[in-house]
Amino acid sequence: MTQPKRRPGPKRALSEGGVLDAALTLMDADGPDAASIRRIAAALGVSPNAVYTYFPDKSAIEQALVERLLGELNRAAYNGGEWRTDVEALALDLRSRLTAHPGAVPLLLGGAMNGPEALLLGERLLEVLARAGLPAEAAARAAYLVMVYVLGAIALEVADVPQAGALAPEPDRIAARRAAMAHVPAETFPRTAAAVDVMSGWIGTEQFLWGLRRVLDGLTRGPV
């Protein structure tokens, strides 16, 4: 029950968590670039440099933000049943948390996957995959592969959000995608044009799960 270890100086007007809250809110509302230090400070009613009391620089804010999102994911329960359904649940959970905050995705892929929560996520994934009966080396490689797929799918899914914060509802996004693809010239891209109808499921939960299941199939049914 250690006290917060008060040291001299005036009471803090902000908190690390409050800064992250403000950053996330701004990002969700006006895109990733809206989470600037100056705007965060303005939203909190302090001068820009007050933020530097809580984080040494902007990259520390980004790192902490990613860690918070991954931490929430890691704290969420997963049932511990069949390993495939556990992997799917974990992947779907990560996906829904990241698509809820599209601005955070570039941070994840930009190298912020090194904190303790990222390690813990990998550990959890390893635990689940261990139950698939894979040899140790294959399990480690498999965890990385699953991570690559999940993050790649989310990144591509989030990539073509105009620049606003939150993603549109899934049916709207599918319709927009289909409309965008409707104009591909069939003479130069015959196969792509022919696939437009099929692609209605792209960038949707269904395609995400389909791909994940193919990956898991490849892990268990492939040679060696």
State the residues that interact with DNA by CB under 7 A. 6-14, 36-39, 41, 46-50, 52-54, 57-59
Q: Is residue 113 part of the contact set for a second copy (CB under 8 A)?
A: yes
Decide: 170 and 208 in contact? Cβ < 8 Å: no
Kindly tell me which of 76 and 119 has the beta carbon lying closer to a second copy: 119
Q: Per CB under 8 A, which of residues 126..155 are in contact with a second copy?
A: 126-127, 130, 136-137, 139-145, 147-149, 151-153, 155
Backbone angles phi, psi at 52, to 5 degrees: -70, -5
The yes or no reply on residue 60 touching a second copy (CB under 8 A) is: no
Report, in Å, the least distance between residue 8 CB and DNA: 3
Choose one: 16-24, 77-85, 87-95, 157-165; the region binding a second copy (CB under 8 A). Answer: 157-165
Distance of CA 22 to the CA centre of its chain: 18
State the Cα–Cα distance between residues 14 and 78, nearest whole angstrom. 34
CA angle 134, 90, 17 (to 5 degrees): 135
Does the protein bind a second copy through residue 52 (CB under 8 A)?
A: no
Do 87 and 125 form a contact (C-beta atoms < 8 A)?
Answer: yes
Considering the complex, state which of residue 78 and residue 149 has its C-beta at the smaller distance from a second copy. 149
Could you say which of a second copy, DNA, none residue 106 binds, taking C-beta under 5 to 8 angstroms by partner kind?
A: a second copy
Report the partner that residue 90 touches, choosing among a second copy, DNA, none (CB closer than 5 to 8 A by kind): none
What's the rounded Cα separation, in Å, for the pair 152 and 138? 20
Closest C-alpha to 153, from 191, 114, 83, 96: 96
* Helices marked H in 45-164: 58-75, 83-99, 105-109, 116-130, 136-159
174 binds, among a second copy, DNA, none (CB under 5 to 8 A by kind): none
User: Cβ distance 97 to 69 under 8 Å?
Assistant: yes
- Please state the closest distance from residue 62 (CB atom) to a second copy, in A: 13
CB of 197 vs a second copy, minimal distance in Å = 9
Partner that binds at residue 207, options a second copy, DNA, none, CB closer than 5 to 8 Å by kind: a second copy
